[in-house]
Chains A and B, each alone.
Chain A
Amino acid sequence: MNRFTLVGAALALCAGPVAAAGYQIETVAEGLSNPWSLAFLPDGGMLVTERAGHLRLIGADGTLRAEPVAGVPEAFVNSQAGLMDVALAPDFAESGELFLSYSCGTLEANHTCLAAATFNGTALENTHEIFRVQPAKRGSAHYGGRIAFLPDNTLLLTLGDGFDYREQAQNTGNHLGSIVRLNRDGSAPADNPFVAQQGTLPELYSIGHRNVQGIVVDGEGRVFSHEHGPRGGDELNLIRAGHNYGWPKITYGVDYNGSQISPYTELPGLEQPLTYWVPSIAPSGMALYQGDLFPEWQGNLLISALAGREVRRVVLDGDTVSAQESLFTELGQRFRDVRSGPDGAVYLLTDSPAGKVLRVVPAN
């Protein structure tokens, strides 16, 4: 493992005071093309997606394999489009099954897609698409793309509104701007919240989202997600089945050109975020820290940020945000993802054509 050390001291800010923590940062792998997501293998290795369409293997010895993993579905790669999340099935140790989210199609007609495959240790086998957002959209923005598993082994896939289709986030007749819940074969569970409603798509779990790129499920089964706002208005939400999170009817942000998207920040029947960020930090990934190396971070949400060039630590008190802290700002990096590793360390992906996998451990 290529190691270098930075010693950082966290700076408390925002909602309330939190204890500072000393840490050092090591480079696990570098030279990755816009790494997007990370999954920890049972043998100590890792799988890392590159937005350009490659899945890379970091062996248990910490070495980045030179050749990408074979068998990855072909992604439509352009701007925000490409290979996105990789998530291991809860029974991966026995089944070897994993899931990949990616954009598929062409610039004129593309979708967020989800594929299942079996990882044999060196390559993917039996790769097959199990879900495709409907309808197709034009352009290469706002795909969502994060995957999380619920306690009942169904999976949640976060989606985006396609940017130019923001009003469709309120339309239950399509998948744009929603979070969908799927069985592992891609079918819709019979107890999904919109199943009984005429004219709605059965996969929908929640609606009214802009571009959801972070989702975690905690030990109590609570689902937290965050989404990019426009100019301001990034949100952290507690997701409840069948609820409407308001975009674009309500928002705390304005359009990039300065115009108002909605005059409302709240309306009846629409959920309020747990917290929101103005100006935007551009939240890109999220982890629930569950390690032992940073006891003071236990149970906190760690949110990677692109524009914010930080990882935002969010302290929860029940269902409310009680404190926040900006971490790793001294690196000056756009962070694409953050993960709580099985070794208790925090893992970071930097967003760059020469991106890195970083490992954060206590300074001592």
Chain B
Amino acid sequence: MKLMTVLRIVFLYLLAVLVATLLGSLVQTQFNLAALQAMDVPVDLATRAQSSLHDLLTFTPIFVVMVAATLLLALPLAEALGRIFKPWRWLLYFLGGFVGIWAAFTLANTLLPMPTFIAATRETSGLLSMMAAVGLGSALFGRLTKPKARRGLRVLG
């Protein structure tokens, strides 16, 4: 494999990790704020932006490690399965991140002292949204690394 190809894959992996991490951070902030609003705590647009920014600075250093480890395992697996089940390549990539981060959440909740490491994942809706965020990052990698369709003279059909 050429050096440029390797560097491109590494770059796209980092891009996928970044996108998934940022999306996940924004998602979990909104769920935390929604829980406060349900208790009649006022959350205006400025407060929402401030909280989202706060978490982008303070939540992402931990979450990016979880996402990076997840995609490091999930992306090769999705690629392998995608070569077998070509029509479902995008779906397999999405599911790779989606299921992979669920496994990471489960592992963290098992190993760490606190029952649930990320509060937004306490409820099914928050958990699925966080999983979808990482799924989208994973699917983005699949989309950007999709082999180009072979071009040539069509002699039949």
Contact = CB atoms under 8 A, between A and B. Distances in A.
Interface stretch (A59-67, A219-227, A249-257, A292-300): A249-257
Contacts of A163: 114-116
A248 B55 CA distance: 17
Given A167-B35, A267-B41, A259 B58 contact: yes
Contacts, number: 66
Interface string B41-59: 1010001001100110011
A256 B61 CA distance: 12
Interface residues of A, number: 24
Given A170-B39, A249-B36, A259 B113 contact: no
A79 interface: yes
A257 B117 contact: yes
Nearest to B47: A263
B28 interface: yes
A262 interface: yes
Contacts of B35: 167
A264 B40 CA distance: 13
B115 A260 contact: no
Interface residues of B, number: 30
Nearest to B122: A164
B118 A257 contact: yes
A262 B32 CA distance: 8
Contacts of B112: 256
A139 B16 CA distance: 34
Interface string B23-43: 001001100110110110101
Contact of B32 (A141, A260, A267): A260
Contact of A257 (B38, B51, B59): B59
B54 A260 contact: yes
Contacts of B59: 257-259
A170 B113 CA distance: 24
Nearest to A256: B114
Contacts of A261: 32, 119
Interface of A: 79, 138-141, 163-164, 166-167, 170, 248-249, 254-264, 267
Given A257-B118, A258-B61, A263-B47, 17 more contacts: A79-B113, A164-B115, A164-B116, A167-B38, A249-B39, A256-B112, A256-B114, A258-B59, A258-B62, A259-B119, A260-B32, A260-B51, A260-B54, A260-B55, A260-B58, A263-B43, A267-B41
23 contacts: A163-B114, A164-B115, A164-B116, A164-B122, A170-B39, A249-B39, A254-B58, A256-B117, A257-B117, A257-B118, A258-B58, A259-B28, A259-B54, A259-B55, A259-B59, A259-B118, A260-B29, A260-B51, A260-B55, A261-B119, A262-B36, A263-B50, A263-B51
